[in-house]
Structure 1
């Protein structure tokens, strides 16, 4: 059934173009449904809450179909695949119109859902975390008026020029179009963030609603409607939940251990010098730092949100990391103001939890988790405090003496010193967060009493450690040789973003002369280990002389090759010489005594290297024999 809003506004007030059948409009809606829902989600105010915005966006798009044949607006669809499609232009106009109408509601009407469907009982649905940059953009979008927000989205997501944006807004009933465009001009954010996962209402995370409270409400409804009203009123009153706990959901249990974990006065705090005499050197000996370690109200909010995040809290966790509340009072590592947010970092022996809230209000709270068990000295050198404008700030371990930034793609360039204030670094560019071609990969260089090591931001709470060398005998990436080994393969680190990676090792396992006297190619195996143990990702990469990047020849996941348990690897690639001839090149680690190719290419070679003439597009199976007589298959 169509909504009253859709029925009243089926005919656009703009000049009409081709007549669109309902079937044509439906085809456009189905084909471009994810983009239309993203448009609606971005135009809706954040006051609805992330779950409410998701359901409202889907509701508006699903009710954007006209009742019958309708003149399409004379506005191009603009994007490839939609250019010239009057059905898409008509549906998009209806989505813009109803989203603006929904965003314009005030008072008690702003809390009402647009229509009874779609609804999801028992679940809260919200997009995945888009990171600090996406959160900051969402806050700036929310500060705009509805028409200005729509103008920014139409410019950035739909790539409409200002003339066409004016037509869409005017057709949607906006009166002050020029004022909306002027207001949107003041938004400094790049349009690239509009495609962030944090704004994708079709790729969702699910969490249960308050199960015990829902059961109580059901029982109360069966007894009497009056009891339900009283219960709802009591749940909404300020008290231990809504007021002091900020964005946390209302309390649903009075377990003594759970209550103790929410008491800021019971937080564990470590002496600043504890790490110097402790048998352990990890997060357990980090002191509490930051200018807000005495702010009990902030600490209480952070603990309450950790225990029971409300529907408006953006929660993320690295793969394999539980996101439940602490079993007892955790350890405080940091509480302070970073950029435009108040940040609290806590540690419970297994996980790090970072709580962040905007300085200017309670909306936009973020809660991030990372598993850090058995971190050791090398794995507990830094924690990400904030990300803003493509940069990242770190909180460093107390034993770190100096920090610097380095471009991993330029091994000969010196590191740039980073200023430290109470263990917090000045901003460093984060290549993992920047879209477009990879021209640089910036890493954090840490120096302490045991040496120098490199870590890199992969979009998570704890940066990944970089090493080099044969598995089982790896070393830090500090010398010139290790830096040169990593340089051609730095950009491949983008393939392991947001995977819970603990460390990445680069192993140069072979060098191979190229046919036609083209020089010598290098073979490197990179292995990304995760905090959860399983799910390691392995890439065999091939680098020719003069090339800026290594080419991925083979990849695998959750295999022992290229690791300490199986320090061996065999991989192959089709390569075209300068003379235009194609070859199958294969290489194995040093303990490979022969290599055989079969299938689309036939050939055998003694030793770890194989070079065979091949046809373009040929496929081959590789098998090698090791010194101990065992066989190894080519990495896939």
Structure 2
């Protein structure tokens, strides 16, 4: 199936599933109807949608006994407020609401449904408005938040079913036949050296109180099912036998409890000092069990860990006063998050929408018990339990201005100043602030460095964190000192491009070499920040005009005679 067809099919499947959903996971029926609508080759999305409506209103229901249901079952994600509200409506009302969300006006929805009056549908634009108002009232969400929940819902997710229960006599016979077949084919059985049976180990509950800098190695086990030896053993064995991401070294338990009706065990491995540990999440639900996600931590420091699709987070005991905010807002609207036995309350559903790389900002107070000083911890936590969750630091001397801190977080999460999904911990720096030429307004040159071995980046941002340039380069891959860091990037003014370069107070002067010629600028005063702005070519045409920018490098001369070279990227 071509890519455009797959995209159309995904939208058609979502619409069909939500119309048919009565809490029974109607994935097979929804697939059949969506596949029939996707076969329409002419007329684009409106024609496919019209065909889908016809199939939903006129096609007979599919049989419930399907062979594939013996092996897989739909992933039953907890319904959000919109899905819960739709289940209280009739299928015809759900269809009217979803067509309205798909961009049709109320009269257009009535006309789309009116073609199929033989199916018993009686709807005019007042009925469509009534259904829309009913969902508004039941959810308390605005139109954008309702549409975001619908677009984020992915019904086409399945997991393997556990083997069905069989009588003991059959089980013994099947085991004997299987054993004979394995011996005949292989003659022997290979066993993983790290697949020894048994449950996971547990950390001493008081270990984190004996160090001023606790990490995941001191994170104690929490939760109400730590004494369920069978659950812990099944979880550890399931991870050890995982073919794609098995654990390295000894397996430890971080959490074991019941969350939203499902048994959950969170495990971590111990790969050694050269590799970051990984965290696995094992769920047991009705007719379903297994490891559902494995994530590598950016560092060994204690981090919040999202638990499946529960909108909850696992919190180590030394992080207190947890609060969260959406990075898309102009200023932080911190909301307190309650934590009980290491498990946070769920965040509002409306926060989990596809924006700002699907990240939420958390701030906590780290209070180690063994003489460590309390400090504020900032972390960007994802909606996806498999994505990285970087902690955020600010370069020394620490930037105390809350406005800059929030603008920097907004730029990182929402303005592509960094790619968070695979990022290590981030260190953000305020290198320069001032007025741009040609009436460009006030800007800040933000540096972004990741803990993973990768070149640093830079970006010009406005006072509210809006990106004013593409990413630029820094020399942070070769220097960790805030005083010697240098950044260079291209900024497009209304009439022409400008090369903008700035450096820390330990850099005495900056100089350009290359196709722009030789331009030089000093700090101007002891301890000052050198800034070099060089006019470039005129800004005309449309991208990818950046491919025609001059080849140039910036040389940073430090006060002690050292120098580094930076290229704008």
TM-score category of the 2 structures, normalised to the smaller one: 0.5 to 0.7
Does 2:251 match 1:330? Answer: yes
SS state at 1:502 partner? coil
Q: Distance in 2 between matches of 1:431 and 1:465?
A: 23
Decide whether the 8 Å contact of 1:595 with 1:622 is kept in 2: no
Q: Distance in 1 between matches of 2:121 and 2:236?
A: 45
Q: Distance in 2 between matches of 1:605 and 1:612?
A: 9
Label 1:272 to 1:633 Cα distance change in 2 as closer, same or farther (>3 A): closer
1:448 corresponds in structure 2 to: 367
Q: Distance in 1 between matches of 2:320 and 2:405?
A: 25
2:100 corresponds in structure 1 to: 155
Does 2:168 match 1:195? Answer: no
Which of these residues, 194, 212, 216, is aligned with residue 283 of structure 1? 216
Shift in Å, 1:273: 1.1
Decide whether the 8 Å contact of 1:394 with 1:425 is kept in 2: yes
Shift in Å, 1:101: 7.1
Structure 1: any 5+ residue segments left out of the alignment?
Answer: 1-25, 66-84, 114-123, 211-233, 244-249, 310-321
Task: Please list, as runs of the form range in 1=range in 2, the aligned pairs for 1:374-385 lying within 5 A after superposition.
Answer: 375=300, 379-385=301-307
Label 1:621 to 1:432 Cα distance change in 2 as closer, same or farther (>3 A): farther
1:243-296 superposed Cα distances (whole Å, 9 cap, x missing partner): 9xxxxxx99998766996675xx2322331132347993223322212233445
Shift in Å, 1:337: 3.5
Return 449-458 or 291-300, whichever deviates more.
Answer: 291-300
Q: Distance in 1 between matches of 2:253 and 2:480?
A: 35
Q: Distance in 2 between matches of 1:403 and 1:235?
A: 41
Label 1:62 to 1:442 Cα distance change in 2 as closer, same or farther (>3 A): closer
2:186 corresponds in structure 1 to: none
1:3 corresponds in structure 2 to: none
Does 2:7 match 1:34? Answer: yes
Decide whether the 8 Å contact of 1:38 with 1:57 is kept in 2: no
Label 1:412 to 1:58 Cα distance change in 2 as closer, same or farther (>3 A): closer
Decide whether the 8 Å contact of 1:286 with 1:333 is kept in 2: yes
Q: Distance in 2 between matches of 1:307 and 1:148?
A: 48
1:92 corresponds in structure 2 to: 49
SS state at 2:393 partner? strand
Decide whether the 8 Å contact of 1:593 with 1:624 is kept in 2: no
1:622 corresponds in structure 2 to: 552
Which of these residues, 260, 264, 267, is aligned with residue 346 of structure 1? 267
SS state at 1:106 partner? coil
Shift in Å, 1:500: 2.6
1:317 corresponds in structure 2 to: none
Which of these residues, 192, 207, 219, is aligned with residue 274 of structure 1? 207
Decide whether the 8 Å contact of 2:223 with 2:256 is kept in 1: yes
SS state at 1:108 partner? coil
RMSD over aligned Cα, in angstroms? 5.5
2:36 corresponds in structure 1 to: 60
Shift in Å, 1:40: 2.4
Does 2:533 match 1:611? Answer: yes
Q: Distance in 2 between matches of 1:629 and 1:497?
A: 31
Label 1:96 to 1:604 Cα distance change in 2 as closer, same or farther (>3 A): same
Task: Please list, as runs of the form range in 1=range in 2, the aligned pairs for 1:469-480 lying within 5 A after superposition.
Answer: 469=395, 480=400
1:319 corresponds in structure 2 to: none
Which of these residues, 528, 532, 548, is aligned with residue 450 of structure 2? 528
Label 1:282 to 1:293 Cα distance change in 2 as closer, same or farther (>3 A): same
Q: Distance in 2 between matches of 1:284 and 1:102?
A: 58
Decide whether the 8 Å contact of 1:394 with 1:424 is kept in 2: yes
Decide whether the 8 Å contact of 1:514 with 1:520 is kept in 2: yes
Q: Distance in 2 between matches of 1:192 and 1:284?
A: 38
Shift in Å, 1:466: 0.7
Q: Distance in 2 between matches of 1:337 and 1:169?
A: 44
Q: Distance in 2 between matches of 1:147 and 1:276?
A: 59
Q: Distance in 2 between matches of 1:149 and 1:630?
A: 66
1:489 corresponds in structure 2 to: 408
Shift in Å, 1:371: 0.7
Q: Distance in 2 between matches of 1:53 and 1:105?
A: 6
Does 2:565 match 1:632? Answer: yes
Task: Please list, as runs of the form range in 1=range in 2, the aligned pairs for 1:167-246 lying within 5 A after superposition.
Answer: 167-169=111-113, 171=115, 174-175=119-120, 185=134, 188=139, 190-196=146-152, 198=154, 237-238=165-166
1:595 corresponds in structure 2 to: 511
Label 1:574 to 1:364 Cα distance change in 2 as closer, same or farther (>3 A): farther
Label 1:493 to 1:337 Cα distance change in 2 as closer, same or farther (>3 A): farther
Shift in Å, 1:606: 2.5
Q: Distance in 1 between matches of 2:449 and 2:4?
A: 39
Decide whether the 8 Å contact of 2:235 with 2:265 is kept in 1: yes
Decide whether the 8 Å contact of 1:260 with 1:328 is kept in 2: no
Q: Distance in 1 between matches of 2:233 and 2:86?
A: 29
Does 2:508 match 1:575? Answer: no
Decide whether the 8 Å contact of 2:511 with 2:519 is kept in 1: yes
Q: Distance in 2 between matches of 1:301 and 1:149?
A: 41
Label 1:171 to 1:111 Cα distance change in 2 as closer, same or farther (>3 A): farther
Decide whether the 8 Å contact of 1:393 with 1:428 is kept in 2: yes
Q: Distance in 1 between matches of 2:222 and 2:341?
A: 7
1:503 corresponds in structure 2 to: 425
Label 1:297 to 1:138 Cα distance change in 2 as closer, same or farther (>3 A): farther
Shift in Å, 1:443: 2.4
Label 1:492 to 1:433 Cα distance change in 2 as closer, same or farther (>3 A): farther
Shift in Å, 1:467: 0.5
Q: Distance in 1 between matches of 2:521 and 2:438?
A: 20
Q: Distance in 2 between matches of 1:557 and 1:134?
A: 44
